[in-house]
Amino acid sequence: MTPLYAALRRSIAAILLGLCLLPAIGKATPVGSEWERFTDDFIKSYFAAHPNAAVNAGLHEYDGRLPDWGTASFSARTEALKRQRMQAVIFKQQVLSERQHLVRKHLLSVIDSELFWVEKARWPYKNPYYYADALDPNIYISRDYAPLEQRLRAYIAYAAQLPVAVDQIRNTLQPPLAKPFVDIGITIVEGLAQFYATDVPAAFQPALKNAELRSQFEKANRRAKEALVHFSDWLKEQRSQAHDAFALGPAVFHDMLYTTERLSMQPDRIEQVVRRDLERNRKALQKVCSRYAPKQTLEQCVAKARQNKPADVLEAARQQLVGLKKIVVDKSLVSIPEGSEPLIAESPPYRRWNPASIDIPGPFEKDLPAIYYVSPPDSTWLAAERQAYMPSRPELLFISVHEVWPGHFLHFSHANRNLSTFARLFITYGFAEGWAHYSEELMWEAGLNRGDPSTHIGQLLNALLRNVRCLAGFGLHTHGMSVDEAEKLFIEQAFLDKANARQQAQRGTFDPEYVKYTLGKLMIRKLRDEWSIQRGGRKNWRAFHDQLLSYGGPPLPLVREVMLTNPSGAPL
């Protein structure tokens, strides 16, 4: 499968199986039975509509189920959400604790977000990307939550339903579609078809000794693969009438930022903040390059830093994790919950679409470790191909920071221990990716590699990439920027090669939320500075980080309201 498909799948999974909210302020506040019943009913209705999210969360009574994507189902779901929203608003008039009020506000944002993507953005009707996560059966293969035969039976039930689900998607999509949406649909569906044809049978091979079970598997898997091939063919037919009108438009894009992240600032103000941060990172890069590669251009400096490749990428990542955890502990950056330790492993063939990734079990899984997968180059490749595939040491280092210490893994280690069920089940994109991206600069500030210039270049390149994603997202959806213009921006400001720049530019058309890496990071940095200025500054960063992570992952502006005594001014 392609690296793009993998990155997209991971992004969606982070949203859907995510965790979302709630503060842990001192002892748990007793929740009134009426509110408790309401939140429980909401969670049940959410999982009924999104059974793939329930499976990812570790509720395996939902194994083998796919969502109902019929047009009537979308209409019924939106009406149910609107009723639930009215019920949640009523609780504002009742006596709720501070913690319960935060849950209520975040629950409203979850409802508003789902309604936005269906009614305002109309993603189910125009963007095949909307369906990508639920069409991915990887959890039955990669997560060892049950014996392989049990997971095989769940997969057979899942695959047997897939042809109906694909027909529903085709009937719900309303051509003509935007060209980038058609292209990403083809990329995802072709990648999945290949996955079903090769990786799935190989993964389940040890459980296929029973002739009857093997027959059931082969029948269901063949039909699932054929359904995906037919869907890909249908998408290819849409190319002839596809158009370039992919943009959400200024009003809808602004609405996205509010409904999904409760960010109410005007878009032009947000862009100004992001541009200032890009300039800050560019100046820092120029400064470090003047020492690391004097008299060379920034492009030459970056190329030099990227030549530093590890001989053994898996062993390099293993050593990095040890050193990164030590910094977190020695510098007292953030608490590490007891028993928090990921495994590290070589990516199996069906996970090698990314140089590295992390699989974090859902909050209801029992005794399953997170696994940090690192992908070595294929031994059959030519030496030059193997060398080109491997990330540089600085790039791999900040992947390890982002994914593990103190990024996603540590964040989810805190969130999975939250006292609130709701908090363990929903985490916003902006909080999750904002924290992981924030962690990269935090580790540099903490003295990672004692000021080594190539390490700093690696951190800055990651920051510039996210800066440009943010500006490209705004440009593509609010300023009429073309994909070609966005590609040029990535080449000139993020130092990407043409192929990767094109991929990043195209992603911005169908995944406008990728602006949230930078927005989340900047909101956390500003909140940290305002929170700590009256609490001793940097020496109290650990207390700040612990309190921040105690909430799980609600929209950051809501966290700001709770953490600051007199919150004033914009969150960015």
pLDDT band at 23 (very low <50, low <70, confident <90, very high): very low
- Residues 40, 34: Cα–Cα separation, whole Å: 10
> 411 lies in which domain range?
255-337+392-563
For residues 345 and 343, give the distance between their C-alpha atoms in angstroms, rounded to a whole number.
7
19: pLDDT strictly greater than 60: no
Same domain, 264 and 223: no
In contact, 328 and 413? CB cutoff 8 Å: no
> Could you read off the pLDDT of 32-77 as tens digits, one per residue?
578 888 999 999 999 999 999 999 999 999 999 999 999 999 999 9
Helix axes 429-445, 393-403, angle to 10 degrees: 130
Residue 454 forms part of a structural domain:
yes
pLDDT of residue 340: 85
Give CA angle at 195 (138, 360), nearest 5°: 20
Are residues 148 and 54 part of one domain?
yes
Whether pLDDT at 17 is above 70: no
Task: Give 351's contacts (C-beta < 8 A, 6+ positions apart).
Answer: 6, 138, 142, 357, 373, 375
Q: Residues near 402 by Cβ (< 8 Å), separated by ≥ 6?
A: 408, 436, 437, 439, 440, 462
Residue appearing with tokens 């960010």:
263
More confident residue, 534 or 503: 503
Final residue of a structural domain among 247, 267, 289: 247
Q: Which has more confidence, 382 or 348?
A: 382
Residue 376 in domain: no
Which pair of tokens denotes residue 542?
């650990």
User: What does the mean pLDDT of the chain come to?
Assistant: 91
16 — pLDDT class (breaks 50, 70, 90)? very low
Using alpha carbons, list the distances in angstroms from residue 43 to 90, 259, 566.
18, 19, 32
Q: What is the pLDDT of residue 28?
A: 38
- 3-state helix, strand, coil split of the chain in percent (to 5) is 70, 0, 30
Question: What is the rounded distance in angstroms from the CA atom of residue 456 to the CA atom of residue 288?
Answer: 7
For 86-141, what is the HEC assignment? Answer: HHHHHHHHCCCCHHHHHHHHHHHHHHHHHHHHHHHCCHHHHCHHHHCCCCCCHHHH
472, 489 Cβ separation under 8 angstroms: yes
* Same domain (yes/no): 221, 260: no
pLDDT at 351: 63
Domain boundary residue, one of 213, 229, 247: 247
**pLDDT reported for residue 26:** 33
Total of domains in the chain: 2
Q: How far is CA 401 from the centre of its chain?
A: 15
For residue 18, tell me if it sits in a domain.
no
Residues 290 and 146 in one domain: no
DSSP class per residue in 239-285: GGG-BS-----HHHHHHHHHHHH---S-HHHHHHHHHHHHHHHHHHH
Same domain flag for 233 and 273: no
Give the mean model confidence (pLDDT) for residues 122-146.
95
Same domain for 308 and 190, yes or no, is no
- Residue 349 inside a domain? The answer is no
Q: How confident is the model at residue 485 (pLDDT cuts 50, 70, 90)?
A: very high
Tell whether 209 and 285 lie within a shared domain.
no
For residue 297, give every residue at least 6 positions away whose Cβ sits within 8 Å of its Cβ, in sequence order, or none. Answer: none
Question: Would residue 110 count as lying in a domain?
Answer: no
Task: Name the one residue in this structure whose structure tokens are 């008299």.
Answer: 295
**CA 325 to each of CA 12, 52, 343, 436, 444: distance values in angstroms, whole numbers, following the listed order:** 27, 32, 13, 15, 13
Query: pTM for this one?
Result: 0.92
Specify the pLDDT at position 335.
Answer: 97
Query: Do 187 and 286 reside in the same domain of the chain?
Result: no
Q: What is the pLDDT of residues 396-416, one digit of tens each?
A: 999 999 999 999 999 999 999
Please report the pLDDT score of residue 35 as a whole number.
87
Q: Give the pLDDT confidence of 80-99 residue by residue, as tens digits.
A: 999 999 999 988 777 888 88
Based on the domain organization, do 234 and 308 belong to the same domain?
A: no
Reported as a single tens digit per residue, the pLDDT across 526-555 is 999 999 998 888 899 999 999 999 999 999
Residues 515 and 544 in one domain: yes
Which run of H or of E encompasses 35? helix 33-49
Q: Does residue 211 have a pLDDT over 70?
A: yes
DSSP secondary structure, 456-516, as one string = HHHHHHHHHHHHHHHHHHHHHHHS---HHHHHHHHHHHH---HHHHHHHHHHHHH-GGGGH
Residue 234 CB partners (closer than 8 Å, separation 6+): 170
Helices and strands, number each (H, E), in the chain: 26, 3
Whether residues 404 and 420 fall in one domain: yes
**Where does residue 537 rank: exposed (0-12), middle (13-18), buried (19+ CB within 10 A)?**
exposed
The token duo for 196 is 């079903």
pLDDT of residue 32: 58
- Is 369 part of a structural domain of the chain? no
Cα 12 from Cα 131, distance rounded (Å): 9
Query: Does residue 175 lie in a domain region?
Result: yes
What is the reported pLDDT for 161? 97
Res 377: pLDDT:
85
Mean pLDDT of 269-275: 97
d(CA 214, CA 205): 9
Beta bridge partners of 345: 373
Q: Given this model, what pLDDT does residue 14 score? A: 37
CA pseudo-torsion sign 512, 517, 520, 525: negative
The SS3 assignment for 543 reads helix
**Which of 247, 263, 286 is the C-terminal boundary of a domain?**
247
Q: Is the pLDDT of residue 373 over 90?
A: yes
On whether both 331 and 445 belong to a single domain, the answer is yes
How far CA 277 is from CA of 150, 463, 466, in Å, comes to: 50, 9, 10
317-350 pLDDT, tens digit each: 999 999 999 999 999 999 999 988 999 998 876 5
List the beta bridge partners of residue 346: 374
Identity of the residue numbered 129: Y
User: In the numeric block, which tokens belong to residue 13?
Assistant: 């999974």
Answer yes or no: is 381 within a domain: no
